[in-house]
Amino acid sequence: MNIALAQINTKAGDIAFNKDKIIGCISRAAGRHADLVVFPQLSISGGPLYDISGMPDFIDKCYAALEDICTAAADIDVLVGMPVVSGDDTFNAVVHVSRGAVKGYYSKAMPFDRSELPFFSGVDSPYFYDEDTPEQEGMPEYMIVCGNRKILISLGDDLQFIDTLPCFAASERDDRPDCIVHMAQKVFTHDIIEDDLEYLSGLAADLHVPLVSVNGVGGNTDVVFYGSSAVFNAKGQMIRKLKNFEEDFEEVDLSPDARNKILNLPAKSASAKVRHAYKAVALGMKDFFEKQGFVSACLGLSGGIDSAVVAAIAVDVLGADRVHAVMMPSRFSSDHSVSDAQRLAGNLGISCEKVEIEPIYSSFISALEPMFKGLPFSVAEENLQARIRGTLMMAVSNKFGHLLLNTTNKSEAAVGYGTLYGDCCGAISLLGDLYKTEVYELAEYINRNGEIIPENIIRKAPSAELREGQKDSDSLPEYDVLDKILYHLIEDNMSVMEVMAEGFDLGAVQHAARLLKAAEYKRQQFGPVVKVSRCTLGKDRIIPIVSNY
């Protein structure tokens, strides 16, 4: 029993693109005489789909692609995922193709809905096609037979309910599967790779059944599927491990007499966490560009840590000649802002133009003077500078077709320490789900083989430089404190009193909670943020703008 794992990078809604990849992998698997090739969840349609699944003809086109896949699979069995219609509803389903024909559809118990679609890969609802499932024509079962072996199919998070299936009720039952095949599109979040492999290993050991888990890979707007497909024997030992964050293809022989090398499960560590976060945002950016056909990026370099880290990632992803930086100092910029940014650009080998915003700022102030009538400098003038920079960067973006990279981090997005339509601009945010302290960790990771980000950028106190002598710590707690408070409020969903009980100053916690609430309107006008945490602002935590709680 040879099973091939096809860890592919699909594109949401692009059936032709996905079908070609699938057929390529089928040929490859057939060429190696695999009995079965397994693809990730929803691989024909790609995902997350949101309202694409309801577009006219979309499901019909998936079925048409399935016909071509059948034709290509004359000598092999295939398990592939797509949305399937039954009655008035659409289901997230697995199609079993055997020797050139569809042998069966195996769907989730509950139809797609708008809540499931965006999140099907990470936080599925606890549905399972169990005995209570109303029968869907042609899809009441959850087991297939392939080469005389019984294979149990599990889709996404349904896996967590697999031990409740009747076939596992007693060890001597005739219907015990010879193997479990799990098909998923799991979204990257911190530590998920290690946690999930450990979980899969434990599940295989508990059930005494080999387990093949095939995950998708690739960035899809704001989520990254992380790959890391794996195979476990009936003792729960890992015998195959596919790459993280890259397409991959492997075969495994699950015959009782096969000799498979035992692999170590990866252990969680601080360094792995940073490395994976880096790879996730880099892949998120790469696919955001590639899948849309964009080839170049622009960004503003302030001389601060956030834009430095974004620039380094962008160069890694696109190459130095496709990243275009602009420095936009004002009267409030420190001397080192420009010199640090120039040194960074030199290290990265990227072009770096300088535009003084003072003349533009002055022209705005003159134009506004009849209305402002000598009123004192305020947040209006601070934000004006950020918006001039945003407008300059968008002009560069529009003129040359570079996509503008946003440089906001999660700490700033949380407390609203950024200017809407100013530094909040950008086609995609790479750091919007990473706290400031995590951005510093990324900088150290980027510098692991020598200086890319100048030490001075890492060491100096963070400042927006929108007024004289401004430091972030003037109006915010130091980031090592603020980030812990925010983590408790956001990721841990603690109340103010609960956070205080963790040893923080009540005033600081109340202040952070107030800012978090007040900045919701800014986050709701933010571009896509590559998800890396378990609670991404604007996606996993949405508060009505008009509310009081």
Q: Which of residues 30-59 bind its own copies (CB under 8 A)?
A: 46, 48-52, 54-58
As a whole number of angstroms, the distance between CA 285 and CA 167 comes to 43
In whole angstroms, how far apart are CA 18 and each of 11, 367, 398, 499? 7, 53, 30, 46
Comparing CB distances to its own copies, the nearer of 71 and 398 is 398
**CA atoms within 13 A of residue 135's CA, in its CB half-sphere:** 4
Note the residue count of the chain: 549
As a whole number of angstroms, the distance between CA 353 and CA 107 comes to 55
By CB under 8 A, residue 156 contacts its own copies: no
By CB under 8 A, residue 271 contacts its own copies: no
Is residue 187 helix, strand or coil?
A: strand
- 3 state SS for 156-167: HHHHHHHHHCHH
Residue from 12, 59, 167, 263 binding its own copies (CB under 8 A): 12
Closest contact distance (angstroms) between CB of 181 and its own copies is 27
By CB under 8 A, residue 418 contacts its own copies: no
Amino acid letter, 206: D
- 3 state SS for 499-520: HHHCCCCHHHHHHHHHHHHHCH
Give me the residue label for tokens 């992803």. Answer: 317
By CB under 8 A, residue 83 contacts its own copies: no
Cβ-contact 155, 184 below 8 angstroms: yes
Interface stretch with its own copies, choices 141-149, 179-187, 205-213, 359-367 (CB under 8 A): 359-367
Closest contact distance (angstroms) between CB of 231 and its own copies is 30
By CB under 8 A, residue 399 contacts its own copies: yes
Kindly report the number of other CB atoms within 10 A of residue 380's CB atom: 11
Could you say which residues in the range 214-233 bind its own copies, by CB under 8 A? 219-221
Give me the residue label for tokens 């007040």. Answer: 518
As a whole number of angstroms, the distance between CA 135 and CA 138 comes to 8
As a whole number of angstroms, the distance between CA 531 and CA 246 comes to 17
Closest contact distance (angstroms) between CB of 535 and its own copies is 10
Amino acid letter, 266: P
Closest contact distance (angstroms) between CB of 372 and its own copies is 6
Interface stretch with its own copies, choices 143-151, 268-276, 340-348, 489-497 (CB under 8 A): 489-497
By CB under 8 A, residue 359 contacts its own copies: yes
Closest contact distance (angstroms) between CB of 289 and its own copies is 9
By CB under 8 A, residue 458 contacts its own copies: no
Sheet holding 248-253, edge to edge: 101-107, 89-98, 77-86, 36-38, 2-7, 248-253
Give me the residue label for tokens 């834009």. Answer: 307
Closest contact distance (angstroms) between CB of 81 and its own copies is 17
By CB under 8 A, residue 410 contacts its own copies: no
Comparing CB distances to its own copies, the nearer of 4 and 512 is 512
Could you say which residues in the range 523-542 bind its own copies, by CB under 8 A? 524-528, 541-542
As a whole number of angstroms, the distance between CA 546 and CA 51 comes to 26
Cβ-contact 198, 205 below 8 angstroms: no
Kindly report the number of other CB atoms within 10 A of residue 398's CB atom: 10
Closest contact distance (angstroms) between CB of 425 and its own copies is 6
Is residue 26 helix, strand or coil?
A: helix
Could you say which residues in the range 370-389 bind its own copies, by CB under 8 A? 370-372, 375, 378-381, 383-384, 387-388
Comparing CB distances to its own copies, the nearer of 293 and 450 is 293
By CB under 8 A, residue 521 contacts its own copies: yes
Closest contact distance (angstroms) between CB of 524 and its own copies is 7
By CB under 8 A, residue 288 contacts its own copies: yes
By CB under 8 A, residue 475 contacts its own copies: no
Closest contact distance (angstroms) between CB of 408 and its own copies is 13
Interface stretch with its own copies, choices 137-145, 356-364, 438-446, 448-456 (CB under 8 A): 356-364
Sheet holding 230-232, edge to edge: 143-146, 149-155, 179-184, 211-215, 230-232, 238-241
Comparing CB distances to its own copies, the nearer of 15 and 308 is 15
Residue from 114, 208, 471, 514 binding its own copies (CB under 8 A): 114
Comparing CB distances to its own copies, the nearer of 215 and 220 is 220
* Chain centroid offset of residue 211 CA: 25
By CB under 8 A, residue 89 contacts its own copies: no
Comparing CB distances to its own copies, the nearer of 402 and 436 is 402
Give me the residue label for tokens 């040194």. Answer: 343
Comparing CB distances to its own copies, the nearer of 311 and 494 is 494
Q: Which neighbouring-strand residues pair with 217? A: 226
By CB under 8 A, residue 187 contacts its own copies: no
How many residues form the binding site for its own copies (CB under 8 A)? 86
Comparing CB distances to its own copies, the nearer of 176 and 539 is 539
Is residue 3 helix, strand or coil?
A: strand
Give me the residue label for tokens 């015990």. Answer: 176
Closest contact distance (angstroms) between CB of 527 and its own copies is 6
545 DSSP assignment = S
By CB under 8 A, residue 265 contacts its own copies: no
By CB under 8 A, residue 330 contacts its own copies: no
Comparing CB distances to its own copies, the nearer of 195 and 492 is 492
Amino acid letter, 13: G
Closest contact distance (angstroms) between CB of 266 and its own copies is 29
